[in-house]
Amino acid sequence: MTDMTKELTIVQPENIKQIVSIAPKSMQDNIMSCQRCMEAGESLLKAIQENGMTDELDREAAAFIEKSRKTVRVMNERRSPVTKLFDEIRTRFTAMENSIDPGKSDTIPYKLQQLRNQYAAKRREEEERRRREELARQQAEAARAKLKLDVEEDFKGQFQSLLNERVNRLTELGDGVTLESWETVCGQIRAFLAELPAGWLEELCSTVRRPLNVSADEMRRIESDVKEALGKQFKEQYAAEIQDNKDYILDRMPSKKANLERIAKADAEEAARMKAEMEERQSKEAAAQEEERRRKEEEERKKSEAARQQVEMGSLFNAQAAVQSYQPKMKVSKKIELLNPEGILPIFSMWWRMEGRNLSVEELSKMFRKQVTFCEKVADKDGEFIKDESVSYIDEVKAK
């Protein structure tokens, strides 16, 4: 016989018939007892209300109260067989329901739910770990891509500084020429090497700070790759710009010599004027060269910025396009775990600040009935009272 069958056979049909047969009489007898008790009580209550309490009426009230207790016991005995059976039937029904209720511990659905909770927590942790690993990988990849751009920009900056320094050196030679040094300066300009200085590229080292998620070996590899990629460009650009500047300066050297000869033959006033004109021309030429240099640097900066934005957008897209694996349906909510009894104080503090202080005295008294009762007992037994302007004690008197 299964447990379910046992539950159904506990309540015998003959017992139900017997209870059903006595239930109407028990109900009628209890109605009559209740009515007589209430009538007698109302009469006594009216007499007290009209005449005030006296010793005689107090004795009658005490006797009536005692008789009421006995009447309640008799009424309870009459209805007990009926209500006991109904209680048992209700108990059997609820027991069957509780045996398969997922919210009740030790039921199979409850145990299955706990297993599902454990599995969901495990899958969530796996997914979180996978997500963290993927995020770390993407961040490292983005860091390497950005580092490559930074190193490239740093190398280009160092190269441009070298190139500017050498171009300025050539310009200074041409601007500083005199009649006496004309041949020497021309020779120096012609001999000025239009090749990237030997060993400069090999000794080139980045000044960019290495990110934490990029190893030193990766940093060296990135520097080496960037240096190899830019090496040919640097050599060709250096040779072209130095040669262009050499040719530009040498082409103007004969006219400079002629101007210097005219200045030497002129009187002081005319020589000063001609010299000022020559210096003004040189200043304008230098400004034009500087403007051209800045234009090229701005173009290079825009290219670098565009490449940087492309890398950042690619990193953002990769982060958003992370593959989502199967996840059981789950609800993740925070649960407080008390580590020690003192932990209840900050919990109560938060509750009081956000909700408790807005409740009425009646609501709070009902909610903390157990704590209020404890303090009342301490006052009665030990004479210890709460000393606070929001708390007062009153005497409750009960007749025995």
Check residue 11 and give its pLDDT: 58
Check residue 5 and give its pLDDT: 46
| DSSP 8-class letter at 325 | P
Cα(377)–Cα(385) distance, integer angstroms: 10
- Exposed / middle / buried, residue 155 (Cβ in 10 Å: 0-12, 13-18, 19+): buried
Cα(266)–Cα(135) distance, integer angstroms: 77
Q: Each residue's pLDDT tens digit in the chain (400 positions)? A: 445 444 445 556 666 676 777 788 888 999 999 999 999 999 999 999 998 999 898 999 999 999 999 999 999 998 888 888 888 888 888 989 999 999 888 899 999 999 999 999 999 899 999 989 998 888 888 888 888 989 999 999 999 999 999 998 998 888 888 888 889 989 999 999 999 998 999 899 989 998 888 899 999 999 999 999 999 999 999 999 999 989 988 988 888 888 877 777 766 776 677 767 766 776 777 677 767 767 776 776 677 676 666 656 655 555 555 445 556 677 888 889 989 999 999 999 999 999 999 999 999 999 999 999 999 999 999 999 999 999 999 998 887 7
Check residue 20 and give its pLDDT: 73
Cα(185)–Cα(173) distance, integer angstroms: 6
Tokens of 27: 């109900």
Check residue 394 and give its pLDDT: 92
| DSSP 8-class letter at 197 | P
Helical (H) or strand (E) element with 192? none
pTM of the predicted protein model: 0.51
Looking at residue 102, its amino acid is P
Check residue 6 and give its pLDDT: 47
3-state secondary structure of 67: helix
Alpha helix ranges (H) inside the chain: 3-10, 13-51, 55-99, 108-175, 182-191, 200-203, 216-265, 268-320, 344-354, 361-367, 369-382
Looking at residue 253, its amino acid is M
Check residue 4 and give its pLDDT: 47
CB 176 within 8 A of CB 185: yes
Check residue 87 and give its pLDDT: 84
Q: Which of 245, 204, 251 is nearest to 228 (CA)?
A: 204
Q: How many CA atoms lie within 13 A of 34 on its CB side?
A: 9
